[in-house]
């Protein structure tokens, strides 16, 4: 009898594993047509000036799938820190039920207010990840840093630390993308679209929650598209 139960449990766990599928969501940072590379790669702005990037890090959270406008699946504990300098963080493997029909992927750029008021958290949310503001509690949702001669700053550096969860300066943004597969989804993030919208001579350092952060967070929406 005991043996039978054991086999039954084994069989059941086997079936439940079989019933699980993975959906791999790969994020590819781009600058226009080119793959975005950090540090020593130079890109040209429409003005003719060059630009280079030192870091690109952002949070993706609350990944959900919907079908014909109706919600069909939600990833549990859905928080991911993506870091362009660490290739493996750009490929998210999401457990989904097998046979899931979905025509739309949804996720947030950034973290919700609950996470922002939950104190010290671990793994991707650990404050040692460089995505937490020490002087005023809250996470940086999106971080882009680099250099361009257009920036009349020290070492021509620009820093965009987009974040803020308190009303009226919330910066979390929801992205919805049409998809035609739930096995592999390739999402491109075109940084050129973000940069060309900005006048780098005027706006090159945004590192606090507030109006500017909110404006920048809205620009992030258009960077994401399915390849």
The footprint of other proteins (CB under 8 A) covers 116-122, 125-130, 132, 134-138, 166, 169, 210
Q: Tell me the closest approach of the beta carbon of residue 44 to other proteins, in angstroms.
A: 34
Cα–Cα distance measured from residue 150 to residue 82, given in angstroms and rounded to the nearest whole number: 27
Q: Tell me the closest approach of the beta carbon of residue 78 to other proteins, in angstroms.
A: 19
Residue number with CB closer to other proteins (129 or 219): 129
Residue number with CB closer to other proteins (29 or 138): 138
Residue number with CB closer to other proteins (91 or 129): 129
The burial class, CB within 10 Å (0-12 / 13-18 / 19+), for 19 is exposed
Cα–Cα distance measured from residue 5 to residue 223, given in angstroms and rounded to the nearest whole number: 52
119 vs 46, 112, 127, 138, CA distance in Å? 43, 13, 10, 9
Q: CB count, 10 Å around CB of 85?
A: 13
Q: Tell me the closest approach of the beta carbon of residue 172 to other proteins, in angstroms.
A: 16
Q: Tell me the closest approach of the beta carbon of residue 46 to other proteins, in angstroms.
A: 33
Residue number with CB closer to other proteins (97 or 130): 130
Residue number with CB closer to other proteins (28 or 210): 210
DSSP 47: T
Q: Tell me the closest approach of the beta carbon of residue 122 to other proteins, in angstroms.
A: 4
Cα–Cα distance measured from residue 13 to residue 31, given in angstroms and rounded to the nearest whole number: 45
Q: For the chain, state the CA radius of gyration.
A: 20
């Amino acid at each position: 009898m005991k043996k039978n139960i054991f086999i039954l449990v084994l069989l059941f766990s086997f079936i439940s594993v079989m019933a699980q599928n993975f959906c791999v969501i790969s994020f590819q940072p781009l600058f226009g047509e080119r793959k975005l590379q950090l540090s020593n790669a130079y890109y040209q702005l429409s003005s003719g000036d060059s630009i280079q990037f030192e870091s690109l890090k952002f949070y993706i959270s609350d990944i959900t799938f919907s079908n014909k406008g109706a919600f069909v699946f939600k990833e549990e504990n859905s928080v991911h820190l993506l870091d362009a300098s660490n290739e493996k963080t750009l490929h998210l493997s999401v457990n989904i039920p097998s046979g899931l029909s979905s025509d739309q992927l949804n996720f947030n750029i950034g973290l919700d207010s609950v996470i922002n008021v939950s104190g010290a958290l671990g793994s991707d949310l650990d404050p040692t990840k460089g995505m937490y503001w020490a002087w005023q509690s809250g996470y940086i949702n999106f971080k882009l840093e680099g250099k361009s001669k257009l920036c009349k700053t020290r070492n021509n550096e620009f820093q965009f630390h987009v974040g803020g969860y308190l009303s009226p300066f919330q910066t979390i943004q929801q992205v919805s993308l049409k998809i035609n597969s739930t096995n592999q989804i390739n999402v491109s993030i075109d940084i050129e679209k973000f940069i060309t919208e900005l006048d780098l001579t005027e706006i090159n350092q945004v590192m606090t929650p507030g109006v500017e952060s909110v404006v920048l967070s809205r620009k992030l929406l258009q960077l994401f598209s399915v390849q």
